[in-house]
Chain A
């Protein structure tokens, strides 16, 4: 405390210094406050409008984690699983973080029980990368041992794994997924968008050492599994078809075989099989290099490869000519006896067998080329072209399968007399098996042609289906009747079923040369198409033998493809629980006699 005397000591000198101090203090403080103001302004500026380079210069403090969702199942029409996805683990190494790069391979080899040299090669190949995949699809014990070992720089990454529980069955049709788990081929590719899941994503804050801190509930986006697709395929029928084809190509030493089974009412493809049989020393007619790599990458030849239908095409021409009144089933045509028929333009038409004057009905039953040529000459070019068009040949079925071929049809401008008579016999035209079953189902229905479908139809869903009329019901009944006789009195005799009444038609076409045009003299495509049961048709099956070895067990469609179609029909209808309609059928015990 100041002594009272001090007050009297306060002289002028001190007073003036005090005033000066106060003045300057005020000035200093005013300046500091001014800068304080600027600082607040700067804070506001940094908050609202920082240097545009700032966000880019700062490493993000958030990470996100993907929560894997499941790709949809591929199911057969009855819900059997064709393709499914599980979550598996992949092991990767970050060479930059690994403490001892020289021993990592042997450490991992010990834990995973796989070859150390392999691992070492993989790592050293991409030593500068931060992500080297060492092993895919670890099993549970491998995962446990890796987790227990907790090696720095070694990580496990969850990955989806696609399983095909039926192995090779329908492999080429189903296709497969690639490393990104997206469809690469077949149905997997076709339905990729539907099957594809939406992965969940969780964005969280992390500290500088990448440890997770917390997350904002709004930053969590749950995933959803992909939708399942129920295919029209029936695995049992598929198995029936595939095993029958495999047996057949060996029996006939054929280059390949194809079959398609459809439900005639819904247009659903029940089975679709395509077998190739590589033979030593043969100049193969078809090849599919991708199939050799992986059967799942196979080309589906039922869709992509047209073939010459031969006599199986005659039914279409026969029915239209009849419907148009150009020939009556009972009209007797001037078919030759022993010598080839000569057309008005001088083309010589050979028959396999000569029957002399025959009815129009008999022309189809006995598959007489001469009779077909006679009526073809009565038809206008346009009518013949409309036969091709009405039954859907020359254009895709648009069932959705990738790589579909439209077949090969001579254009109207190049249409000649030769074409007119050839097409009547199923030559100078190429069709896909898919087109063939669809067209033939006209005879199994009420004269309308269905759209094919590759997914299972929902019977409760009365969805719009594109169908259009090709023939009148009367003509259909007549044609089906004649083709029933093909089985009993014609080329289908060897393909008769004891259980079901079939109606069908055989065809044997020469194999076109790969180069230079023309046909091989003694190589064939032998096919047979049939529907059953005759009384109330349910299915249509086409069976095609590509390049059967003539010296094995014959080469005629009726002889070698007919039994295939018949066996598939028998087994399929039996499986579907369709009661036999053969009047003589006595049941399995009786037939065993």
Chain B
């Protein structure tokens, strides 16, 4: 029986396969007297990362998610996540620890492994907010006791991140707020934040020249096609290349130095150039399937913590995909946000796979509960065996939890 969780795994594996192939293709360099071997693709860094990501997904799908919620005292991970994230977000600003890449100090290097504290905070805050909102389910509609405490924490983190990485800051803030609304926060409480958020956003943009330039480039890239508009124009030109059908796998022209970041943030442009509208549609459909699969799990969950956690994961992946593709197609100003599971990026794939693994784990738990509940269910309604079978089939996979709730 194919469950939603299996669907998620299928989507992740498909996206990773496309990712490995396309990163390899976009990274292709033509060097005289050297042929490219299929082993380079299969045994390359991206393939290894994809394998690790799939392994991580399987491990995460075996983890008991509700333990996160139920553990108390010193073993409760929530305070540690909050403290750890905040500390790292502060520490990254310190010279000597934080490493500057492309003019922004976002990275911390521990030996061979580099990571971005903002990436950790992104996933950490999903857990923190889900935990808070589930714990305070009855006071979420209150401003001071329900809404503000997580919001202040979130705001603080956003400000810390915004100085170096506005895109991720906006992403974390948006996902957090969306989760709080879903958890019961009043919309007018949220609307109070709009001026604060807008003011913060404008300040962040106005104080940074490259953000102003990115905004200008977005508004009219053709004003300076060789300067600030270069990147977005090259991206749109890549998408334009090859017509509806695309140039064919491997045949991109823009990847030969014309389009910067072609293997990472702008991989979608190369996908459009090589695989055409069909390739773009497949990628978008895989994300859509991921979201719908996730949704089908969430609607069966009875534990608000898990639902919110799942929602946070889906929103993070969904928004990232959305923002990235909007940037690549010239519908949003340039942000340093990668395309989940496709852009070459290393740890990003593993962490994303892990988060989806948690959703798969929830699905496994639900399936097991349904399995356990079956005989009880049949006994309780005391129906003739035939009727039971019909009812079971009708209501089998999609809504067993709903049936349970009604019982």
Contacts and interface: CB of A to CB of B under 8 A. Distances in A.
Interface of A: 1-2, 7, 10, 13-15, 17-18, 20-26, 28-29, 32-33, 35-36, 38-40, 42-44, 46-48, 50-51, 53-55, 57-58, 61, 205-209, 211, 213-214
B240 A47 contact: yes
Interface stretch (B111-119, B147-155, B296-304): B296-304
Contacts of B369: 2
Contact of A50 (B240, B276, B318, B365): B240
27 contacts: A2-B303, A10-B302, A17-B134, A17-B304, A21-B182, A22-B299, A22-B307, A24-B311, A28-B182, A28-B311, A28-B314, A28-B315, A29-B292, A32-B322, A36-B284, A36-B287, A42-B330, A42-B331, A44-B244, A46-B239, A46-B329, A51-B236, A53-B222, A61-B254, A61-B256, A207-B257, A208-B258
Contacts of B82: none
A2 B365 contact: yes
B345 interface: no
Contacts of B405: 10, 15
Q: What DSSP secondary structure best describes chain A's contact surface?
A: helix
Contacts of B330: 42, 46
Nearest to B310: A25
A33 B318 CA distance: 9
B225 interface: yes
Contacts of B243: 47-48
Contacts, number: 162
Interface in B222-239: 222, 225, 229, 233-234, 236-237, 239
Interface of B: 30, 64, 66, 133-134, 137-138, 140, 178, 181-184, 221-222, 225, 229, 233-234, 236-237, 239-240, 243-244, 253-254, 256-258, 272, 276-277, 280-281, 284, 287-288, 291-292, 294-295, 298-299, 301-304, 307-308, 310-311, 314-315, 318-319, 321-322, 325-326, 329-331, 365, 368-369, 404-405
Contacts of A39: 280, 284, 322, 325-326, 329, 331
A213 B368 CA distance: 56
Contacts of B307: 18, 21-22, 25
Nearest to A37: B284
Contacts of B298: 21-22, 25
Contact of B368 (A1, A20, A207): A1
B179 to A, nearest CB: 9
Contacts of A58: 225, 233-234, 237, 258
A58 to B, nearest CB: 4
Contact of B304 (A21, A46, A53): A21
Q: Count chain B CB atoms within 10 A of each CB in A15, A44, A46 and give the residue with the most.
A: A46
A55 to B, nearest CB: 8
A43 B280 contact: yes
Contact of B329 (A18, A25, A42, A53): A42
Contact of A29 (B181, B225, B308, B318): B318
Most chain A CB within a 10 A radius of its CB, from B304, B322, B365: B304
A39 B280 CA distance: 9
